[in-house]
Structure 1
Amino acid sequence: MVVLVSGANGQLGQSLQFIAPNYPDIHFIFCSSADLDISNLENCQTVFSKIKPNYCINAAAYTAVDKAESEPEKAYLINVIGAQNLAAVCKQYATVLLHVSTDFVFDGNASKPYSEDDIPNPTGVYGQTKLDGEKGIQATFENYYIIRTSWVYSQFANNFMKTMLRLASERDSISVVNDQIGTPTNAVDLAAALVQIALTDNRQPTTDNFGIYNFSNEGQCSWYDFAKKIFEINNKNIDLKPIPTSSFPTPAKRPKFSVLDKTKIKNTFGLEIKSWEDSLKTI
């Protein structure tokens, strides 16, 4: 079973490399953007013609939410054109595509966790390009799993947890938004879920399971709650202040509520998902 992973140097790509030794029966091939430029169809075709993977996990994405507002073309190239290119070559080589999307496809105005059937309504460039990428895949072929996730962090690359720990070493006081609610997701847990989907699909090839799924850790919190738990677990003594979103304006609007309902992915693939607090303790 050959699994090609794009975006190998990113947070999710590194998390997949971290867990790969746990799956000796899978031959993982990790491609950085230098090895596989998903925005270049010809390059995608060249790579796929050599590897002929059974599965492709697309961990490549433009994820700079605020920067996307001033770099829409760059975000579109990676998140839309890139997704369409991978879908096209996956179709050509009978490869199943596992594509990672985001809670930012929603506007955050819900009062209960979002299900896969809720209507997307992105409020910024990043969310719109991720949604357009989903649509591009769906318009190309049927053999895909689109996994929407949220608030991803890990011991790898840049993320909220690492930023908080860095700031704690530089400052005596930090202010963090307390009126945006979501669920932190450990990228290593997300990586394991993606591999589980591929393994299940490989054992039981059926078109019935293809489609969109939500994955995050269990539970919900604010960014302030998340920061507080990070400092607690890492024994950091710092003056942490809760502030409203209005006190921390950003170029891109954030969803006020983006908790995801995981019922479908748990039922379909038999996943047991850790709480965000328990998963945070594992790093």
Structure 2
Amino acid sequence: MVVLVTGANGQLGQSIKFIANKYPTIQFIYTDYYEMDITNIESCANAFLKYKPQFCINTAAYTAVDKAESEPEKAHLINCIGSKNLAEVCKENDTILLHISTDFIFDGASKTPYLESDLPNPQSVYGQTKLEGEIAIQNTWEKHFIIRTSWVYSQFGANFMKTMLRLASERDSLSVVSDQIGTPTNAVDLAEALLTIIQSSITHHPSLATFGIYNFSNEGQCSWYDFAAAIFKQKELKMDLRPIPTSAYPTPASRPAYSVLDKTKIKNTFNIEVNEWKTSLVRGINLL
């Protein structure tokens, strides 16, 4: 069984590599921009011709949320056109596509966890281009799993957890936004969920009704301030941590004020047990 992973040098791609030895029946092919440029349909077609994957996990994305506001064309090229190209080559090769999307497709106005069926209303270029990518996939190839996630971090790459630990080594006090509520997601847990979906698909040959959109994050909810506090507590770091409102920390891109995702669908469909975010944070920090 061949699983092709795009964006292999990102934190999710590296998290898949981290757990790959637990799946000896799967041959993983890891590609980066230089080997397979998802914005180039011929590059995608050549890679699929070479490797003949049964599954493709698309972790490649333009994720610089604030920079996207000044680079909308580049964000659209990677997040929308790139996703469409992958869907087209997956369709040509009858390859099942697993694609990573984001809580940024929502406006954050909800007071209860978002369902997969809730109406998207992105408030940023990043969120808009990720939604366009979802739509492009849905309109191109029916055998897809779109996984929406949030606040991804891990022992790999650049992320909030590692930024907080770096800042703790540079300063004594820190102000962190306390009125944006969501759920941290350990990328290793997300990787496990993706491979659970693949294994289920190998075993059960999913019906078209099984394909579609799913939410995955860790369980529970917190603010960025709470997340930072938990990081410092786990590392036993003394930090003068101060909560501030979003208005005190303006950014080019608007963030959802509330983006907790309801995981009922993915848990019930694939029998996935989801870890509480603080539990996964402890594991993530211990792997640094």
TM-score tier, shorter chain, comes to: over 0.9
Q: Per-residue displacement from partner, 1:88-124 (whole Å, max 9, x unpaired)?
A: 0000000000000000000000000000000000001
Q: 1:32 deviation in Å? A: 1.0
Mean alpha-carbon deviation: is it higher for 30-39 or for 128-137? 30-39
For residue 274 of structure 1, what is the aligned residue in structure 2? 275
Q: Per-residue displacement from partner, 1:177-197 (whole Å, max 9, x unpaired)?
A: 000000000000000000100
For residue 266 of structure 2, what is the aligned residue in structure 1? 265
1:187-206 equivalences under 5 Å are 187-205=187-205, 206=207
State the distance in 2 between where 1:83 and 1:185 align.
22
For residue 90 of structure 2, what is the aligned residue in structure 1? 90
Q: 1:235 deviation in Å? A: 1.2
What is the identity percentage for the equivalent residue pairs of Structure 1 and Structure 2? 66
For residue 233 of structure 2, what is the aligned residue in structure 1? 232
For residue 161 of structure 1, what is the aligned residue in structure 2? 161
For residue 144 of structure 2, what is the aligned residue in structure 1? 144
State the distance in 2 between where 1:259 and 1:143 align.
26
Matched to 1:108, the amino acid is G
State the distance in 2 between where 1:81 and 1:177 align.
33
State the distance in 2 between where 1:8 and 1:130 align.
19
Q: 1:69 deviation in Å? A: 0.1
The answer on 1:75 being equivalent to 2:51 is no
For residue 117 of structure 2, what is the aligned residue in structure 1? 117
Q: 1:208 deviation in Å? A: 2.0
SS state at 2:209 partner = helix
Matched to 2:281, the amino acid is L
State the distance in 1 between where 2:245 and 2:124 align.
20
State the distance in 2 between where 1:118 and 1:67 align.
27
For residue 12 of structure 2, what is the aligned residue in structure 1? 12
For normalisation by structure 2, the TM-score amounts to: 0.98
Q: Per-residue displacement from partner, 1:220-241 (whole Å, max 9, x unpaired)?
A: 0000000000001111111100
For residue 133 of structure 1, what is the aligned residue in structure 2? 133
Q: How many corresponding residue pairs?
A: 283
State the distance in 2 between where 1:208 and 1:121 align.
25
For normalisation by structure 1, the TM-score amounts to: 0.99
SS state at 2:86 partner = helix
For residue 54 of structure 2, what is the aligned residue in structure 1? 54
Q: 1:33 deviation in Å? A: 1.1
Q: Per-residue displacement from partner, 1:120-158 (whole Å, max 9, x unpaired)?
A: 000010000000000000110100000000000000000
